């Protein structure tokens, strides 16, 4: 999440809103370690001038990861932070924070933004992590964290060394669960796999 937020923060600093952040659009440069995260697929990306308080209106992306204001056609760069919140919720629970049987029902649920941490999955997740997610999945855009603010959140600020040194035995199962949740997003569709293989083979290492 720290790496993802750093990517988002950089994009926003140069006036780019990705507009389609989801696990499928996050790749690793190296198979062996989580040190070189890359954001891909800028097909829906838009330029924005924050100095002029520019607003965007084009609808885009995958509904499950879309912020409420996207469906209203009036939004800013903070839609990327909502998507990051959905990704974080998904990694920690293997569930979407909002769900609907139809697209229309899903949109209504997202607009209401009633976030819940009531399932047993969340019993071993820290209050700090829940607070972090809550501040990203905030319906009111002006109250949602910016990328810079999200990077300063205590949950993100914890040093890696401190996290491992203070880890309780049950915490290791949380990490394993999160990594297994990531694995669920490997492409299952043959066409998807072929497309990803073609993309990967045509890229230079970077």
3-state secondary structure of 29: coil
Q: Which two tokens stand for residue 94?
A: 């293997």
Strands 26-28 and 16-17: unpaired
List Cβ neighbours of 193 (8 Å cut-off, separation of 6 or more).
Answer: 187
Q: Which two tokens stand for residue 186?
A: 């490997």
Following DSSP, what letter does each residue of 110-149 receive, concatenated? HHHT-----SGGGGGS-HHHHHHHHHHS-SSGGGSPPHHH
Strands 16-17 and 46-47: antiparallel
- Give the chain's length: 206
Q: Which residues are catalytic?
A: 20
* 195-to-40, 136, 145, 185 alpha-carbon distances in Å: 14, 32, 35, 15
């Amino acid at each position: 999440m720290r790496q993802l937020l750093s990517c988002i923060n950089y994009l926003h600093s140069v006036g780019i809103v990705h507009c389609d952040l989801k696990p499928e659009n996050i790749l690793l440069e190296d198979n062996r370690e989580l040190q070189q995260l890359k954001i891909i697929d800028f097909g829906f990306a838009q330029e924005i001038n924050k100095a002029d308080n520019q607003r965007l209106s084009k609808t885009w992306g995958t509904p499950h990861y879309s912020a409420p204001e996207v469906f209203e056609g009036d939004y800013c760069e903070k839609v990327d932070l909502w998507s990051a919140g959905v990704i974080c919720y998904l990694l920690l629970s293997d569930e979407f924070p909002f769900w609907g049987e139809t697209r229309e029902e899903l949109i209504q649920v997202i607009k209401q933004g009633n976030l819940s941490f009531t399932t047993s999955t969340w019993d071993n997740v820290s209050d700090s992590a829940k607070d972090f997610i809550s501040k990203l999945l905030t319906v009111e855009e002006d109250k949602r964290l910016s990328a810079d603010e999200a990077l300063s959140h205590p949950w993100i600020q914890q040093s890696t060394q401190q996290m491992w040194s203070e880890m309780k035995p049950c915490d290791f199962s949380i990490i394993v669960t999160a990594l297994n949740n990531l694995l669920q997003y490997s492409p299952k569709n043959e066409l998807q796999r072929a497309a990803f293989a073609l993309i990967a083979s045509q890229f230079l290492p970077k």
